[in-house]
Amino acid sequence: MQLARPRAAAIASVRIPAAVTWRSLAPTYALAALATLAVALFAISWGTVQIAPQTTASIIIGHLPFVSTGTHSATTDAIIWQVRLPRVLLAGLVGATLGLSGAAYQGVFRNPLAEPYLIGVASGAAVGATLIIISPLYVAAWIFSPMPPAAFAGALIAVVLAYGLARTAGRVGATSLILSGVAVSSMCTSLVTYLMLTYNTRTLAILNWLLGGFNTASWAKIAIAAPYMAIGSLLILPFGRLLNVMQLEEDDARQLGVDVERMKLVVLALASLATAAAVSVSGLIGFVGLIVPHAVRMVWGPDYRRLLPLSGFFGASFLILADVVARSINPGYEVPIGVVTALVGAPFFLYLLHRQNGAMPEHA
């Protein structure tokens, strides 16, 4: 059927209710990027040695090739370039990854409570990473560390397992997937605990890594994980429009031409790759993938073309700030960042659960 072809004049005269296109989103992205940069600049300047933001900016810019911004004291330069910048950058990258992949998981599972930690991905990645720590392959300083690939393998196995267990008659229901994700997750957690207690020479290394944090951040760690996080996150972005369609009933999405099962697998694989790389350099940091997409949704609505990138930007800002809190609550002693995010995230999770049970039982 041809719906009476709209003539050129008719097309020009359409007054469209603000349709979302990549171009119309550009200003929003630019603002969010600027806000994230401002947060990062603040976090780099903040610490036991306070540095003026303009000095910070000038030192960082001075390190770029072909730019000279005069001389700065060697100590300040070292604090900024060797300590704080890698730390803030890594926190930002991990936060962006967790925020964006959290939004992607929620979209694929049509479940607002889906999160890398709830569906077994992060725990699966932890098993992979732990196996590397106890193996002779564990050399902290390697650029091509085996940690991210091993974590990715663990994450994929966990997600495939959760997916396979939830699959009945060729379909994967949202509820059964969450349930099997929780089962797989606790299986992985007990495996990690077992490994940690059995290989007692590495117990402390595993525990330190599990608690998570950015106090050991370095340029090397960024180099290890950033490529995987960038590839996974950036390749998810084009799926925003289809994720919107996936929010319909699954049959409806199929009948609109979306290959639902294949798309689930592709998005899950990408999100798991990014999450696994984040886990392998920062340990288990919960709730970022849950809170950030929800906060974005409350302000900018449910369109995934906005939700995915904005969750990335605000995930970065959130984790950078959480790290600032973690290192400044108690000078001389750092609170694990997972504690900070859980303190903010757990009450928020309970609030969402409460609201969901009241408002939309069909999505539970």
Partner 1 sequence: MLSIRRLCVSYGAHQVLRDVDLSVAQSEIVALIGPNGCGKTTLLRAITGVAAIRGGAIAIDGDDVQSMRPSTIARRVAVVPQAAALPGGFTAFEVALMGRTPHLRLLQSESRRDLAIVQAAMERADCWDLRQRPVDELSGGERQRIVIARALTQEPELLLLDEPTSHLDPRHQVEAFRLLRELCQERQLAVVAVVHDLTLAALFADRIAMLSGGRIVASGAPGDVLSEEIVEHVYGLPVRVLAHPESGLPVVVPDGGITRRGAERRALLATP
Find the binder of partner 1 among 161, 192, 258, 326 (CB under 8 A): 258
Q: Which is nearer to partner 1, 143 or 362 (CB)?
A: 362
Among 64, 74, 139, 169, binds partner 1 (CB under 8 A): 169
* Helix (H) / strand (E) containing 172: strand 171-172
Contacts with partner 1, 303-332, as mask; x by CB under 8 A: x-----------------------------
Alpha carbon distance 50, 83 (integer Å) = 14
* Spatial CA neighbour of 285 closest among 319, 329, 234, 309: 319
The amino acid at residue 195 is L
The answer to whether residue 126 forms part of the interface with partner 1 (CB under 8 A) is no
Contacts of 224 (CB under 8 A, 6+ apart): 142, 143, 144, 145, 147, 148, 280, 281
- Using H for helix, E for strand and C for coil, what is the string for 269-284? HHHHHHHHHHHHHHCC
Q: Count of residues binding partner 1 (CB under 8 A)?
A: 41
Q: Please give the structure tokens belonging to residue 54.
A: 């303009």
Find tokens 């309970």 and name the residue: 350
Applying CB under 8 A, the span of 123-131, 247-255, 286-294, 345-353 interacting with partner 1 comes to: 247-255
Of 47, 149, 173, 302, which lies in the binding site for partner 1, with binding defined by CB under 8 A?
Answer: 302
Q: Determine which residue in the list 255, 328, 329, 364 makes contact with partner 1, applying CB under 8 A.
A: 255
Look at phi and psi of residue 134 and say left if phi exceeds 0, alpha if psi is from -120 to 50, else beta: alpha
Contact flag: residue 52 with partner 1 (CB under 8 A): no
User: Which range touches partner 1 (CB under 8 A), out of 147-155, 182-190, 198-206, 245-253?
Assistant: 245-253
Q: Which is it for the CA torsion 51, 87, 71, 76, positive or negative?
A: positive
CB of 236 to partner 1, least distance (A): 12
Q: Decide: residue 265, CB within 10 A, 0-12 exposed, 13-18 middle, 19+ buried.
A: middle
CB of 160 to partner 1, least distance (A): 22
Q: Does 170 bind partner 1 (CB under 8 A)?
A: yes
Distance of alpha carbon 227 from alpha carbon 213, whole angstroms: 19
What DSSP letter does each residue of 275-309 carry, written as one string?
HHHHHHHH----SHHHHHHHHHHHHH-S-HHHHHH
The nearer residue to partner 1, 6 or 347, going by C-beta atoms, is 6
Query: Which residues, 278 to 297, sit near partner 1 by CB under 8 A?
Result: 297
Q: Which is nearer to partner 1, 240 or 336 (CB)?
A: 240
| Element housing 167 (H / E) | strand 167-168
Query: Which CB, 211 or 248, lies closer to partner 1?
Result: 248
Closest to partner 1 by CB, 52 or 256: 256
Check residue 141 for interaction with partner 1 (CB under 8 A). Answer: no
CB of residue 10 vs partner 1: minimum separation in angstroms? Answer: 6
Which stretch in 189-197, 217-225, 273-281, 300-308 sits in contact with partner 1 by CB under 8 A? 300-308
238 binds partner 1 (CB under 8 A): yes
3-state helix, strand, coil in the chain (%, to 5): 75, 0, 25
Residues within window 5-34 making contact with partner 1, judged by CB under 8 A: 6, 10-12, 14, 16-17, 19-23
Contact residues: partner 1, CB under 8 A: 1-4, 6, 10-12, 14, 16-17, 19-23, 169-170, 238-239, 241-242, 244-245, 247-249, 251-252, 254-259, 297, 301-303, 360, 362
